Structures are given as C-alpha cells and as structure tokens.
Amino acid sequence: MPLTKDDFSEADCRAFIAGKEALWREHGYGPWAFRAGGAFAGWGGLQPEDGEADLGLVLHPDFWGWGKRIYDEILSRGFIEMDFASIIVLLPPTRTRVRALSRLGFAQDGELVICGERFIRYRLHTPPHQTPLY
C-alpha cells in the first residue's frame, strides 16, 4: 500500500483502522472487512477520496478467487444503493499491469496526489441497465 511506511507498527494499524471507521461516521460509507467460509478474506469497498467514491479491494491470496464476486457486490452497492454516477480506482504509477481495469470498463482519467504520493485515476461510469445482485 503506497501510503504506508515499511515499519508499519501496531499503533499505525490501530490509527489506520480508526481512520477507516471515521469515514463511516463522517460520510456514511467506507471499507468493509470480508469473510469467506468463516475466515477473514480481506478488506475493501468504497471510500470517499477527493469528492469521489474510490474502490479498493485487498484480499489474502487464499481468497483471490472471490475477488470478482466481491467486486460485483461493491459496484452494485455503489451504483444502485448509493447512486454514484461514477466510481474511481487509484493506483500508483508503479502498477503497470492495468489491462484488467480496462476490461472492467475503467478508463484512465487523470492523476491525483495524496500525502505527496502520485496516483493514476481510473474511472468507471454507471453501467447501463445496472441491476442489483441480491
């Protein structure tokens, strides 16, 4: 994760979690923890970033097969429940393998600097005929 430092301590972890929980209080949405088969699989979802809905998904390698199902649920909640006109993904410039984003409909849409780190922004507009998955 580009905004964390190499010596990410337990105190840093507590502050990270507190910051994510604060997003829910301040904006009414933020990331979730994901469980699969009773085990912690990872975290992610949507969080506010510079006035946009930013999608993030971090899964333990044992659960990478769950990624598309979780991604689809996140999009459903973002576009249908929350009525976002678009959702963004922010990646550091070092992430050069981004073809999957294009296949999912995301298009490069500028850059953003967060805490002194540069990110490439990709945007997905509301898909036509989006229907709930549940």
Residue 4 lies in a domain: no
The confidence score (pLDDT) of residue 4 equals 47
Residue 19 lies in a domain: yes
Q: List all residues 6 or more positions away from 38 whose beta carbon is below 8 Å from its beta carbon.
A: none
* Number of structural domains the chain divides into: 1
Residue 130 lies in a domain: no
Q: Looking at residue 98, which CATH number applies to its domain?
A: 3.40.630.30
Share of the chain above pLDDT 70, in %: 90
Residue 1 lies in a domain: no
pLDDT, tens digit, 9 for 90 and up, residues 49-77 = 989 999 999 999 999 999 999 999 999 99
Q: For the chain, give the longest Cα–Cα distance.
A: 46
pLDDT, tens digit, 9 for 90 and up, residues 11-33 = 888 887 898 889 899 999 999 99
State which residues form the domain around 121: 10-125
pTM above 0.75, yes or no: yes
Residue 108 lies in a domain: yes
